[in-house]
Amino acid sequence: MNASAKPERTRLSAEDWEDAALRLIADQGVGALAVEALARQLGVTKGSFYWHFRTREALLQAALERWEQYGEKEVISQIEAMPDPRARLPELFRRVAHEIAPHRVYAALLKALDHPQVVPVMARVSQRRMEFLTTIYSEAGLSPEEALNRARLTYAAYVGFLQLNFTLGLPRISHDEFDAYVEHMIRTLTPA
Amino acid sequence: MNASAKPERTRLSAEDWEDAALRLIADQGVGALAVEALARQLGVTKGSFYWHFRTREALLQAALERWEQYGEKEVISQIEAMPDPRARLPELFRRVAHEIAPHRVYAALLKALDHPQVVPVMARVSQRRMEFLTTIYSEAGLSPEEALNRARLTYAAYVGFLQLNFTLGLPRISHDEFDAYVEHMIRTLTPA
DNA sequence: TCGATACCATACGCACGAGTATGGATGGCA
DNA sequence: TGCCATCCATACTCGTGCGTATGGTATCGA
């Protein structure tokens, strides 16, 4: 089939393995993270892997930390830079809705919450994002309690959407219909 | 530790294995469904299992079908029996929010969407529930498109909530705070 | 040019879980 | 009472994937 899609003849670094691991996680899940499979995909063998990492668990850990680092930083800062607080929410929703790629790892990790290694990472990331949402809702005029609950609701809707659409393949929604859904969501979740 | 918590000295039936499988799935996930582990938990050995089922896959299939059968039937019919359409949504939300046990299997299955066997089951169940929500929203006064989108949003919020709270253990929300969250959700998702 | 270090291949051992073979126990029914 | 079907135990095989041991090749500085 593909076998050697990457004829990279340079030597590999630990970062290369971490990136490959994240790609594999994104489209096959954490459970599919096997060292021999990864090695095959990179055109090398296990011998290479165990030079860079002590164990499979160590690779997962490194990949997760790498993902947590180079995460959503840009999106958050760009939204925060917007002058009008009321305009931030619709913009955030539309951006998130149309950039699918960055969310694929998050979606895969959501299905791996039985793995003890992913729990703390996901807890930190989700916590940070919800705090961000809470401050945005506050700045949009909600009281502290209302802002917190609305952030919880919004984030839950985001997480649920990921599950129901990319992992489960519910009756493939069309593009236009999806846009309509996003706008409906903006209307109902944004303070009047 | 526990080893033989169930001193059931009667012979086992296929249904016994299916129920045990569902219990195990509920609190350890689909990945933990191993025949020797299940046998140990039931106080027997593999020999028993392979008399009732041809394979592990067959057990999973049977357990999933069993779960799909004896599912949420009662809740739906009870809600439908309520005379006032506007009162149905708050009641549904409160019921679902306070009955955690029945949702544990669903939450576990949500994390197993890479398993080909669980996808069709989850697709059917989720589809039915969303259709139910859609009709409720219609009866509460929303237009067909609005009702459908609101149902999608509500169900996504439900699914996301399951992930963020029982599987991920986000900053343990208190009981009162949880009730406040549910009421907030009712206010924002129920048509005025 | 010549090691030394970094990177990789090959060939193992080993644990674990699915599935098979076969014989033993138990209960209902003639 | 004896027989047959049902249910279960024991003891294997086998595939898979992690980790190890050890030797080979490339690259760079002295």
* Lowest pLDDT segment from A24-28, B104-108, B167-171: B167-171
Q: What letters, b where the CB count within 10 A reaches 16 and e where it falls short, cover B13-41?
A: eeebbbebbbebbbeebbbebebeebbeb
Looking at residues A96-114, what average pLDDT do you find? 91
Q: Do B161 and A156 touch (CB under 8 A)?
A: yes
pLDDT over 90 percentage in chain A: 74
Dist CA A29 CA B113 (whole Å): 10
A8 — pLDDT class (breaks 50, 70, 90): very low
Report pLDDT digits (tens) over B93-147. Answer: 999 998 888 899 999 999 999 999 999 999 999 999 999 999 999 999 999 999 9
Residue B77 DSSP symbol: H
Give B-chain residues touching A150 at CB under 8 angstroms. Answer: 184, 188
pLDDT at B183 over 60: yes
CATH numbers and ranges of domains, chain B: 14-67 (1.10.10.60), 72-189 (no CATH)
Quick one: pLDDT at residue A75? 82
Report pLDDT digits (tens) over B67-99. Answer: 999 877 778 888 988 988 889 999 999 999 988
Q: Which nucleotide is nearest to B11 (CA to C1')?
A: D7
Dist CA B75 CA B175 (whole Å): 23
Quick one: pLDDT at residue B77? 84
* Count of residues making up chain B: 192
Q: Is the CB of B44 under 7 A from strand D?
A: yes
Looking at residues B37-57, what average pLDDT do you find? 96
Report pLDDT digits (tens) over A134-180. Answer: 999 999 999 999 999 999 999 999 999 999 988 887 777 899 999 99
Give every CB contact of residue A126 below 8 A, 6+ residues apart in sequence: A155, A159, B164, B168, B170
| Amino acid letter, residue A36 | E
Residue with tokens 């236009």: A176
Q: Do A159 and B155 touch (CB under 8 A)?
A: no
More confident residue, A7 or B31: B31
Q: Is the CB of B52 under 7 A from strand D?
A: yes
